[in-house]
Amino acid sequence: MKVLITGAAGQLGRALMQELAHRGWEAVATDLAELDITVGDAVWRTLSNHRPQVVINAAAATRVDDLEADPDLAIKVNALGPRNLAVACRRLGLKLVHISTDYVFDGAKTVPYVEWDETGPQSVYGRSKLLGEKLVREQCPDHFLVRTAWLYGLPGPNFITAILARARQGLDLKVVDDQRGTPTSALALAPQLLALAETEAFGTYHATCQGEATWYEFARLILERAGLAAQVQPCGTEEYPRPARRPANSVLENRLLQLEGLDLMPSWQEAFHRFWDFYGEQL
C-alpha cells in the first residue's frame, strides 16, 4: 500500500513513517515545506502526482493557548486544510485518515466519551477541529475520522519533555490533578491508524490507549521511570489558569474500534514503557 503522510515531521508523522518502513509499505512524507494543506491547488497537485491509496493527515495547528488569539490560523489549518485534502481524496478515489481530538468535547461528562456523544468545544482549537471533522465528513465519504487525546512522541516538546526538564533542573513540580485523560503514545497510535486504513470500515473512531490518569499521575510515572527524585505535588486547574479552557474529562472510549474488532491500543502504562524503551536515551 502507498500512503502519503502530511505533518510527517511531527510526533505522529514520525511514528507513522517508522511504522510504514517496518511494514515495507511505500511512504510519501510531506510537511509544510513540501505541502501546505491550506492551499487547495497544492493539495490537488501533490495528491495527483503521487496517487497514494491512503492519505493520513497528521498536520495541525496545536499550540492551543496561542490559537485563542489567532482563530484565523486555527480555521485555516485545522478546518480548511482538511477540507482541501477531503475534496482531493474524493475526486481521486483515495481513503483519508484525519486526526481529531478530545477537545471537541466540553469535558463535563463524568464517564468516558463515546463516538456519538454530543460535542461542545470550549476553545478556539477545539472549535476549529470540530469544523474540520464536519468538512471531512461532507467532502469525502471514504474517511476515517480518528479522535485521540494526550498524544506524545518525539520530537518534543510535550508533557514528558517538560516534566523531565524541570526535574533535571532541580525544580519541584506542581501538576494538575483534576483533569483526567489517557496518555497516548504516537508509537501505539500509528499501527492502529494503519490497521484502520487497510479496511473499508469508514466513519468516526476514538483511538487512545486504554485506562485513564490525571496529569499528576502521569508525571509521577515519568519521574519514576527516569529515576528522578524531584518532588511532585498535585494541584487544581485554577492554580494554573491558561488562555484556552481544557476539558476536565478527556477520557475517550474506543467503543467503535472494539465493536469492529479493530482495537489494538495497549494500556497507557504499557505504551509509555515501550516509548521509554525506544526513546529513553533521547529524552
Strands 203-206, 173-176: parallel, antiparallel or unpaired by DSSP? Answer: unpaired
Q: For this structure, is 205 an active site residue? A: no
User: Residue 143 and residue 212: Cα distance in Å, rounded?
Assistant: 28
Can you read off the three cell numbers belonging to residue 140?
469525502
Predicted confidence (pLDDT) per residue in 59-90, tens digit: 999 999 999 999 999 999 999 999 999 999 99
Residue 117 scores a pLDDT above 90 = yes
Catalytic residue among 103, 113, 125, 216: 125
The pLDDT of 3-26, averaged and rounded, is 98
Residue-wise over 237-251: b if at least 16 C-beta within 10 A, else e?
eeeeeeebbbbbbbb
Question: Residue 240: its pLDDT value, please?
Answer: 86
Mean pLDDT of 120-131: 98
Q: Residue 49: pLDDT above 90?
A: yes
How confident is the model at residue 62, as a pLDDT?
96
> Cα(252)–Cα(144) distance, rounded to whole angstroms?
16
Query: What pLDDT does residue 176 have?
Result: 97
Q: What is the pTM of this model?
A: 0.97
Residues 134-192: tens digit of each pLDDT: 999 999 999 999 999 999 999 889 999 999 999 999 988 999 999 999 999 999 999 99
Q: Which three cell numbers stand for residue 111?
A: 464517564
Beta strand 173-176 pairing with 151-152: unpaired
pLDDT, mean of residues 265-279: 97
How confident is residue 115, by pLDDT bands cut at 50, 70 and 90? very high
What's the confidence (pLDDT) of residue 156?
80
| Whether pLDDT at 116 is above 90 | yes
3-state DSSP call for residue 48?
A: helix
Beta bridge partners of 185: 152
Condensed to tens digits (0 to 9), the pLDDT of residues 195-245 reads: 999 999 999 999 999 999 999 999 999 999 999 989 999 999 999 889 999
Cα separation of 128 and 61, whole Å?
Answer: 9
| pLDDT (0 to 100) of residue 172 | 83
Domains along the sequence of the chain with CATH: 2-282 (3.40.50.720)
Instruction: Identify whether the C-beta of residue 2 lies closer than 8 Å to the C-beta of residue 56.
Output: no
